[in-house]
């Protein structure tokens, strides 16, 4: 981190899992944070939990928005910039998956739902914040991708794999084009993480499995590390996997 100045941070998918854990890390460091999510009750619960962190009063806000729509993404950007004044870090964490994952099960509507929640949301949110990043000639965007964005494992499902591969391509192209404007871009590729997205697995996940895999706080620590580097340094891509896995 450059100095001890409080930063403005936006975390999408901040109502649970990795997003909630990341927001907590930034708040504990003294930053100002806006979280977003589609679910009102879950987002409200997250806001209450984050507000309970010592000294966080006046530094945490929540915006309910469907980021797979342009109106939702633009509403988030408008509210976040109003609250924070300047956004230094945007964590694009929003995502989803389905139980119907095989090609044989995949309908057109469900395909579009997965691409909308994982790819369109990242694109639209980025586009909504880009003018402010360009104007300030500085900023960091962190995309929470997945190992499914590097390796097409059938476990993730065809639509999810397609969305995450495309997200990696988007992030790479964005980084190259916007480097001259001072924008830094990092993609983080977590392996299995114990988050609510496990509820969408075709088969139930055991408690033993949940304990053995990555926890949201593990990925949040990686996000915070990337965000704490000086502006002269960049990690374009970072893979984090459960230590029990063999990554090949």
Whole-angstrom CA distances from 195 to 18, 127, 199 are 7, 27, 8
Active site residue 160: yes
The CA distance from 185 to 58, in Å, is 28
CB 26 within 8 A of CB 34: no
Distances (CA, A) of 72 to 55, 147, 174, 181: 30, 27, 21, 25
Q: Please list, in sequence order, all residues whose beta carbon lies within 8 angstroms of the beta carbon of residue 37, skipping any fewer than 6 positions away.
A: 12, 13, 14, 15, 16, 19, 43, 46, 62, 64, 65, 94
Residue 156: which residues within 8 A CB-CB, separation 6 or more? 97, 101, 146, 148, 164
Q: Which tokens hold the place of 139? A: 């900023």
Question: 143, 160, 245, 247: which is the annotated catalytic residue?
Answer: 160
CB 22 within 8 A of CB 225: no
Task: Put residue 162 in one of left, alpha, beta given phi > 0 → left and psi -120 to 50 → alpha.
Answer: alpha
For 143, the 3-state DSSP assignment is strand
Burial of 82 (0-12, 13-18, 19+ CB in 10 A): exposed
Active-site residues, by number, are 160
């Amino acid at each position: 981190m450059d100095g001890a100045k409080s930063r403005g941070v936006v975390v999408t998918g901040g109502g649970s899992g990795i997003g909630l854990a990341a927001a907590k890390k930034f708040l504990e460091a003294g930053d100002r944070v806006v979280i977003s999510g589609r679910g009102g009750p879950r987002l409200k619960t997250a806001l209450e939990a984050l507000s309970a962190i010592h000294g966080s009063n006046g530094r945490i806000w929540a915006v309910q928005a469907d980021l797979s729509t342009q109106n939702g993404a633009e509403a988030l950007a408008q509210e976040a910039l109003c609250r924070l004044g300047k956004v230094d870090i945007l964590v694009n964490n929003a995502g989803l998956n389905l139980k119907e994952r095989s090609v044989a099960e995949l309908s057109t509507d469900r395909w579009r739902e997965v691409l909308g929640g994982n790819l369109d949301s990242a694109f639209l949110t980025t586009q909504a914040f880009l003018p402010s990043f360009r104007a300030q000639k500085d900023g960091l965007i962190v995309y929470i991708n997945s190992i499914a964005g590097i390796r097409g494992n059938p476990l993730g499902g065809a639509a999810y794999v397609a969305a995450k591969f495309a997200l990696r391509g988007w992030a790479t192209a964005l980084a190259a084009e916007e480097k001259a404007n001072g924008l830094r871009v990092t993609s983080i590729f977590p392996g299995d993480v114990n988050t609510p997205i496990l509820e969408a697995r075709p088969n139930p996940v055991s408690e033993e499995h949940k304990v053995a895999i990555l926890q949201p706080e593990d990925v949040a620590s990686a996000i915070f590390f990337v965000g704490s580097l000086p502006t002269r340094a960049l990690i374009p891509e970072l893979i984090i996997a459960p230590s029990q896995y063999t990554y090949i």
